[in-house]
């Protein structure tokens, strides 16, 4: 059965009347430069260098010979280097005399804390994304401690290189 043209016109008219205009809001995005290789460090720290530099970064002084020998033996006796690095850094961060800013100092000036953290441990400035993300994390996570961020950078791949 073929419908007359007037029925098609009526159907189109009803569809058009039933349609409502809807405002669509567009979000404008700001371009952010994210370098992918500008922080590439090429020289891997040796076992002794990693341990002595991490200790020096956290305590502001040289590690004792006895402690260095004990940690080097432990480092070399474990096959999974990530496991022993985790243990060494956790041990350092829980030792008396570790020199890291207090949680209160971190919360009072999150951006300044992040900049100081990157300069001290990675010998560079944080990029825009790192600065923004970590500053917001500090502001939004009340349980986050300064030692958590020190741990994260000290166990990062970048920290293992010069």
The gap from C-alpha 22 to its chain's centroid, in whole angstroms, comes to 40
pLDDT value of residue 7: 56
Shared domain check, 144 and 95: no
Domain count, the chain: 2
Q: Is 97 left (phi over 0), alpha (psi -120 to 50) or beta?
A: left
Q: What is the pLDDT of residue 76?
A: 87
Rounded Cα distance between 73 and 69, Å, is 6
Residue 36: band (very low, low, confident or very high) from pLDDT cuts 50, 70, 90 = very low
Instruction: For residue 34, report the phi and psi dihedrals to the nearest 5 degrees.
Output: -120, 100
On whether both 94 and 106 belong to a single domain, the answer is no
- Which range of residues forms the domain containing residue 152? 101-162
87 confidence band (pLDDT: 50, 70, 90)? very high
pTM over the 0.85 mark: no
Establish if 1 belongs to a structural domain: no
């Amino acid at each position: 059965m073929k419908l007359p043209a007037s029925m098609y016109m009526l159907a189109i008219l009803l569809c058009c009347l039933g349609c409502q205009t809807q405002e669509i809001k567009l979000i404008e995005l700001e371009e952010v430069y994210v370098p992918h290789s500008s922080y590439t460090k090429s020289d891997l720290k040796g076992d002794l260098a990693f341990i002595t530099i991490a200790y020096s970064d956290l305590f502001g002084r040289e590690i004792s010979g006895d402690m260095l020998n004990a940690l080097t033996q432990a480092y070399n006796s474990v096959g999974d280097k990530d496991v022993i690095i985790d243990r060494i850094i956790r041990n350092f961060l829980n030792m008396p005399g570790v020199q890291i800013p207090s949680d209160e100092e971190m919360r009072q000036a999150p951006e300044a804390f992040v900049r100081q953290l990157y300069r001290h441990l990675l010998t560079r400035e944080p990029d825009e994304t790192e600065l923004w993300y970590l500053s917001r994390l500090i502001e939004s996570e009340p349980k986050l401690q300064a030692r958590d961020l020190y741990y994260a950078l000290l166990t990062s791949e970048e920290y293992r290189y010069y």
